[in-house]
Structures are given as C-alpha cells and as structure tokens.
Chain A
Amino acid sequence: MGKNSLSIKTIVAIGIGAAVFVILARFVAIPTGIPNTTIQTAYAFLALMAIVFGPIAGGLIGFIGHALTDAVSYGSVWWSWVFVSLFIGLFIGLFAKKINIENGVFGAKQIITFNIVQVVVQAIGWGLLAPLLDVLIYAEPANKVFVQGLVAGLSNIITVGIIGTILLTAYAKTRSQSDSLSKE
C-alpha cells in the first residue's frame, strides 16, 4: 500500500488510535515497583491496532502517539524511543498478517503466532534498537541504556502478552465468525 492509496478508514484509525495511545500511555500506566518502569498498556493497544488495521496504521499510531505523548507530558520528544514505537507497530502489523482477526477466529494457534511475533519484534526494538539510537543520538553510557532497554522490553513483552492477548480475544468475539453460517 503506497502513501497515496491510504484508505480513509486507515487515516481515521491512525488519528483516533494515536489519541487513544496518548490517553493510555498517560493515564493507564501501572507502576511495577521498579523505578522508571511502568506497565505500558498502550503497547497492548498498539498491537491490537496493528493487527486490525495493518502495518502502516500500526507504525504511524506508534510514531504519532508516542511523539504526542512525550510532547504533551514532558514537553520534549525522546526520538530514539519514538522510533522504536514506530518499528514495533509496523512489524507486529507486518508479521501478524496471517492472523485474520476480522473473521472472528482467535484460538490457540493465533495466540501463539501473535505472541511469537510480539516477543521477537519487541526484543529487537527495546533490547537493540532503542539503546543503539540512545548511544548514537544522545551519547549516553552504553550499559545504562542497555539495562533500561532490557527492563522496558521485558515489561512491555509481558504486558502485550497478557493484555494484548485478552484484548484480541475480546475483539475477535465482537466479529461474526466467517464459518458461522452453514448451508442446509
């Protein structure tokens, strides 16, 4: 899908999705007890949107949503991590294409596919991409940013694993199953 063939629905999904991302990231972050580490429910939502509306919507919701969250709450944008959000939305959307959530089936097989995809994508994103960009852009000490990335990655993987799976299962139930009609 090229930039010019973005459907209206995708555009609106990006806009509303980014707004919901901001609200979730700002208000529904559960502190874990480890300083500076919160359970970010926004990433579970991002995974859902990436699967429902595709990789472009996923990537842009991550990018715009994270940039706006940083802007309205800190006043400045931490670009290295914003790019990681873009990466995660994009690649969860890309690799989870196989999960056709619209036909209402989200069983064991889809849950496993979804979780493998999200674990791999987030591990690369938080564990590798975020620290590398931090070192490159901000010249922060490498071991500090790698620990930060690892902790954030781990908590986000668990969050998306639990909440994301619950959300997707619930969403699938609202769709009518493709095989719900039978020929008599």
Chain B
Amino acid sequence: MAVELLSYIERKSPVHELSGAAKLIIFIMWSTAAMLTYDTRILLFLFVISIAIFILSKINIREIGFVLAFILAFLLLNNVAIYIFSPQEGVKIYGTSHVLLDIAGRYNVTLEQLFYQFNITLKYFVVIPAALLFIVTTHPSEFAASLNKIGVNYKIAYSVSLALRYIPDIQRDFRTIAQSQQARGIDMSNKEKLLKRIKNATSIILPLILSSLDRIEVISNTMELRGFGKNKKRSWYGAKPFKRIDYISIVIGILILIASLIITFHDGSRFYNPFI
C-alpha cells in the first residue's frame, strides 16, 4: 500500500518565509475569489499569478506529481460527467448556441458548452496550486497556531494540531493491523465478494477504533494533568510573528479579492459572456 499523503516540504523560499497566518488568510481569500467568480478574464489572471507564486516557492513539480495525476484524472471524469448529464448547460448560461458538431439528440458540441467546461476546469486550476502550496509550505504546528491567530478558538485549533500530529501514527497502526489481519487470511482485495469485503474491512476497523479510543484516554489524561484549557489564551511553539512582508501580501490579497468581485458582479452575472 504505497499511497502517499501530501505533507510539508522543507525548503528555503519567500513563500516558506511568510507566516502561516498570512498564508491562511490569503488562501481563504483566494479560494473565495475563485469560488465566486466565473469570469474567464479573472480566472486567467489568477491562474497566471498562482503559477508565478508556485515558481517562487521552489517546490519541484515532481514532488507533488502523484497528487497532480490524481486531480487531473478527477477533473477529466468530472468534465465527462458534466457533459453526459447536461450537454446544454453552456447554452442555458450564455443564452446563445453555436453548434460545432451534432452527435445525437441533445448531445451536440456547442462553443458555449466548451467554454463553460473550460471555465469549470480553469476554476480548479486556480485553486489547486494555491491549496497545494499552502499545504506543502506550512509546517503543521504552525498551521494550528495560525488558525488560532485568525480567531478560531484555541481548543479547536489544538484539535486540528492533534489530528495532524497523529495522522502518521494512526496510519502506522492501520498498516500493522491490516497486515496482521491479512496474515490471518482476511482478504481485503477485489478477489473477495463485496459483502464479504465489507465484513472483512470491519475486522480491520474495529481494532483500529478501539486502540484509538485508548489513545484518546491517554492523551486527554496527560493534557488534564498538565492543566490544558485552564487559561483563556495559549502561546504556540510554532507561531511566527508578522513581518512587513506578511502585511504587504495580505493587502495585495485583499485588493485582488475586491477587484475580482467588482469585475465579476458589476454587470449582474457571475459569468463572462463573450458570445454577445
């Protein structure tokens, strides 16, 4: 089972230097902008910037290649599904129909549909580099600290930090349990029938859950003994103080968000329509 998970990649770059809270704020604004707009011009603009930031971060595209392959496959499937379910969605949105090719019934290829699906795909290409960068350039413990900094209750932020801290441990537990159950002849592969497979999965999940419940007991006792949650605030080992560059990048982020919202909504529609 060689499925990799995305994690922090240590590097020296301007993007790594930014404080986690600043990156989080920018990332939230960035995804809001990309989520709300369907304006192709803005999407293209955001896309170019995110590529530029990506290059700035010195992250090698190979290091995240496995995730990218996954996303591309998902996008392709999603596009096919959209076309199968709604080949006329583009025509509905843009109000015109330039037919390029007739296939059968309502399944024709129109410029509008192609443009609409291009926009949907572009939306993902805008968010994905930003999200990937955020994950690989922010240290997990700094991430929890930045959640707290932007106003999330520190107890919740601590839960997130615990989750990130224990994912590798639980993954290791899971592997041990899965292998020992397989050694006892419990088959999880597709050779087994579906119902049997579900039952076999339970025999792996149950020990994992019970051992995790024990873990919860131990950790909460430890935290209790150390007086966690006694004070209203807490300091974070991983927190980075804001520097000038952090403020500058946040301001730029706000400007981009406002500009993209104004341009998107000034004519009353989320969509940029080149057909009229």
Question: For residues 131 through 162 of chain A, which have their beta carbon under 8 Å from a beta carbon of chain B?
Answer: 137-144, 147-148, 159, 162
- A9 and B216 contacting across the interface, CB-CB below 8 Å: yes
Main secondary structure of the interface of B (DSSP, over half): helix
User: Is residue A12 contacting chain B, with contact meaning CB distance below 8 A?
Assistant: yes
Pick from A69-77, A85-93, A113-121, A122-130 the stretch touching chain B. A69-77
Residue in A11, A20, A41, A73 whose beta carbon sits within 8 Å of that of B201 in the complex: A41
- A15 and B77 contacting across the interface, CB-CB below 8 Å: no
User: Is residue B1 contacting chain A, with contact meaning CB distance below 8 A?
Assistant: yes
A65 to chain B, nearest CB (A): 7
**Residue in A closest to B172 when the chains form the complex, CB atoms:** A23
B123 contacts across to A, CB distance below 8 A: 138
- A16 and B166 contacting across the interface, CB-CB below 8 Å: yes
- B194 and A15 contacting across the interface, CB-CB below 8 Å: no
- A68 and B163 contacting across the interface, CB-CB below 8 Å: yes
Query: Bound state CA distance, A79 and B158, in angstroms?
Result: 21
Main secondary structure of the interface of A (DSSP, over half): helix
B159 to chain A, nearest CB (A): 4
Question: For residues 85 through 121 of chain B, which have their beta carbon under 8 Å from a beta carbon of chain A?
Answer: 85-86, 89, 93, 120
**Residue in B closest to A80 when the chains form the complex, CB atoms:** B35
**Residue in A closest to B74 when the chains form the complex, CB atoms:** A74
B165 contacts across to A, CB distance below 8 A: 15
**Residue in B closest to A32 when the chains form the complex, CB atoms:** B194
- With A45-B205, A73-B67 known as contacts, the answer to whether A13 contacts B216 (CB < 8 A) is yes
Pick from A104-112, A166-174, A176-184 the stretch touching chain B. A166-174
- A16 and B215 contacting across the interface, CB-CB below 8 Å: yes
A57 to chain B, nearest CB (A): 9
- With A16-B215, A23-B171, A24-B205 known as contacts, the answer to whether A8 contacts B163 (CB < 8 A) is no
- With A45-B205, A48-B209, A141-B86 known as contacts, the answer to whether A77 contacts B131 (CB < 8 A) is yes
Residues of B within 8 A of A (CB): 1, 3, 5-7, 31, 35, 38, 64, 67-68, 70-71, 74, 77, 81-82, 84-86, 89, 93, 120, 123-124, 127-128, 131-132, 135, 153, 155-156, 158-167, 169-171, 174, 178, 190, 194, 197-198, 201-202, 204-206, 208-210, 212-213, 215-216, 219-220, 223-224, 228-229, 270
The 4 closest A-B pairs by CB, nearest first: A15-B162, A141-B86, A144-B85, A18-B163
Q: List 20 A-B contacts (CB under 8 A).
A: A6-B155, A6-B229, A8-B220, A11-B156, A15-B159, A15-B163, A16-B212, A16-B216, A17-B212, A18-B160, A27-B1, A36-B81, A74-B71, A76-B71, A77-B131, A139-B38, A139-B93, A144-B81, A144-B82, A167-B209
